[in-house]
Amino acid sequence: MTSVPVYQQLRPDANFTYKLIQLPPNLLSHLSFGDCNAKYLDLKTKPINPNAAPSSDDSEGDTVVVCTRDSTFKLRQNNHSNCVLLMNQRRINHDQRDGDNGDRNEDAEALMGFSRSNYVYELTQIPGSILDILPEYNNRQNGATQLGKKFMSRNKLAELSPCSPTEFDKIYIDSCLCEITNENNDKFVYKLTQNVISQILHTFITYLISESKQTQSFTIDKLTLHCNVAFKSWQPSMIDAVIFKFTICAREDSQNRPNPTVTNDGLLPGPLRLHDDAITRWFGIQELSKLAHSFGTPTTVADFLLNWKTALPSFYNVPLDIVQLRGHYYTANTTNTTNSSSQLVYFINQSSLSRDVATRFKQLLTIQSNWKYDEFVACLQPVLEHGKKVDTVILKYGKKKRVKRDQFVVCGR
CATH code of the domain covering residue 16: 2.40.128
Residues 180 and 85 in one domain: no
- Smallest Cα–Cα separation from 273: which of 254, 251, 255, 248? 248
Looking at residue 208, its pLDDT comes to 93
| Residue 28 sits in the same domain as residue 117 | yes
Q: From the DSSP assignment, how many helices (H) and strands (E) are in the chain?
A: 11, 17
Same domain, 155 and 229: yes
Establish if 212 belongs to a structural domain: yes
Strands 344-347 and 299-300: antiparallel
Query: What does the pLDDT read at residue 220?
Result: 85
Clarify whether residues 119 and 186 are in a common domain. Answer: no
State CA 125 to chain mean position distance. 12
3-state secondary structure of 244: helix
Structural domain includes residue 386: yes
Between β-strands 72-90 and 110-126, what pairing exists: parallel, antiparallel or unpaired?
A: antiparallel
pLDDT value of residue 260: 61
Q: Where are the alpha helices (DSSP H) in 37-100?
A: none
Residue 77 lies in a domain: yes
Residue 329 lies in a domain: no
Verify that 267 and 389 share a domain, yes or no.
Answer: no
Q: What is the pLDDT of residue 280?
A: 97
pLDDT score, position 192: 94
Identify residue 412 by its one-letter amino acid code: G
Q: Is residue 211 part of a domain?
A: yes
Burial state string for 25-58 with b = 16 or more CB within 10 A and e = fewer than 16:
eebeebeeeeeeeeeeeeebebeeeeeeeeeeee
**75 and 194 both lie in a single domain:** no
How far, in Å, are 6, 12, 19, 78 from residue 16 at the CA level? 21, 9, 10, 21
Q: By C-alpha distance, which of 234, 61, 66 is closest to 142?
A: 234
Partners of 322 in the beta sheet? none
Which of 126, 156, 185 is the C-terminal boundary of a domain? 126
Nearest to 271 by CA among 220, 229, 227, 315: 220
> Quick count: other Cβ atoms within 10 Å of Cβ 246?
24
Residue 336 lies in a domain: no
Q: Is position 327 within any domain?
A: no
Calculate the alpha carbon distances from 231 to 43, 142, 282, 321, 373 in Å. Answer: 41, 18, 20, 31, 44
* Nearest alpha carbon to residue 218 among 270, 294, 141: 270
**Are 14 and 113 in the same domain?**
yes
Closest-CA residue to 411 (of 400, 402, 353): 400
pLDDT for the residue 263: 52
Helix (H, G, I), strand (E, B) or coil at 205: helix
Residues of the chain with pLDDT under 70: 10, 34-39, 47-62, 90-108, 140-148, 251-269, 294-296, 335-339
Any alpha helices (H) in 143-260, and if so which ranges? 154-160, 165-174, 194-210, 220-223, 236-245
Residues 13 and 118 in one domain: yes
pLDDT at 397: 93
Q: Phi, psi at residue 224, to the nearest 5°?
A: 50, 45
Work out how many domains the chain is built from and give that number: 3
Which of 274, 309, 329 lies at the terminal end of a domain, its last residue? 274
Residue where a domain terminates, one of 274, 307, 336: 274
Are residues 222 and 241 both part of a single domain?
yes
Same domain, 155 and 193: yes
Is 318 domain-assigned? no
Give the residue numbers spanning the domain of 19: 6-50+59-126
- Indicate if 91 and 181 belong to the same structural domain: no
CB 64 within 8 A of CB 45: yes
pLDDT at 106: 54
**Does 89 share its domain with 152?**
no
- pLDDT computed for residue 27 by the predictor: 87
